Amino acid sequence: MTVLPLERASLVLEAVPSAADVERIRRFTAAHSNTQWTEAEQFVIDLAGIERAEEKLQVMVHTSTFDDSMNTINEQLDAYLNAAKLVQESEQLRLIVQAILALLNHLNGSTMQEKVVGGFCTSQLSEVCSAPIAGGSSVLQTVSAFIRDRAPYATDVDDLVEPLTTAAKTPFLSIYGSLLQLDEGNQRVQFELEQLDFEHPVLAVRLGEMRRRLEEWPKAFELEQLDFEHPVLAVRLGEMRRRLEEMAEKLVRVKDQLLAMLSYMGEALPRTESEFHPEVYLSKLCGFLTSLHLHNELDVEVEN
């Protein structure tokens, strides 16, 4: 297969003639065989002469961008995994949630043993804490005062905001979509390999002709390599498949960790895949923590 540098392969892919255009170009050039074409025209004509040029270029772009795409997905999954572990392991967050629960039970005139308020969705912390209480204060203000006076170390919960925000930037289901797109790209590579098995002798001759033609083109159209690397592509496909399988397994592990986090925080678990949106929960939790942080800062400014 002809190997282009990535930036040029992407540009050439945009210029590849459609199937209808290819047929028109072939008829037109056959009817004007003695015409002297410009370099740009000859470039398009040569592209039209390559069987499945668009498919080949798509394979080239896919194999060139595969590692970067996988690295991005890996970073996104790591961000989710880190966020889930931080939420479950945070002593400060657990203390704050317990303080809110105790306060709500107190406001309802009950003891912790009676548990009139047995629990609440932590995704609704912002709404719960905005509720007014006697004296013109709010649950958030009362909890903030408790942290300031009784548990100042709980302000370390602010450290959760950045990693949770980072994870929530990427909808979890979009990672599924990215993996599916990469798998589709691998399938195109497999199909191209099957075609190459059939066309190897013909393409080898064609590539030799193209090499001579490319030497006459300006650098804007040059190919850095023009080798028919069928075995290399086969090995590359095997590597991409292994990495994709490993990443799919990691995605399942991260999803399980996120489900454990949601269960730990008292959230209802999604019944279907389409309802799984951990980024929404993390965003809401970040909103509450940010509100708490801003209120603590305001209290400090008032005291000063």
Those residues with Cβ within 8 angstroms of residue 39's Cβ, 6 or more apart along the chain or in another chain: 216, 217, 218, 221
The reported pLDDT for the residue numbered 252 is 96
The structural architecture, per CATH, of the domain 52-303 is: Up-down Bundle (1.20)
What three-state secondary structure class fits 84? helix
The reported pLDDT for the residue numbered 109 is 63
The reported pLDDT for the residue numbered 219 is 39
Q: Do residues 230 and 200 touch, judged by C-beta distance below 8 A?
A: yes
Buried b / exposed e along 235-267 (16+ C-beta atoms within 10 A): ebbeebeebbeebeeebeebbebbbebbeebeb
The reported pLDDT for the residue numbered 46 is 73
d(CA 287, CA 289): 6
Domain boundaries, the chain: 1-49, 52-303
The reported pLDDT for the residue numbered 214 is 43
The reported pLDDT for the residue numbered 120 is 67
- Main-chain phi, psi angles of 189, to 5 degrees: -65, -45
Tokens at 175, concatenated: 């990672």
pLDDT per residue as tens, the chain (304 positions): 445 565 666 667 766 777 777 778 778 887 787 788 887 777 777 777 777 777 877 888 888 889 999 999 999 999 999 999 999 999 989 888 888 888 877 777 655 454 444 456 788 888 888 877 777 778 888 888 888 888 787 788 889 999 999 999 999 999 999 999 999 999 988 888 877 655 544 444 544 554 454 444 443 333 333 333 567 788 888 999 999 999 999 999 999 999 999 999 989 899 999 999 999 999 999 998 888 877 665 554 445 4
Those residues with Cβ within 8 angstroms of residue 303's Cβ, 6 or more apart along the chain or in another chain: none
The reported pLDDT for the residue numbered 84 is 97
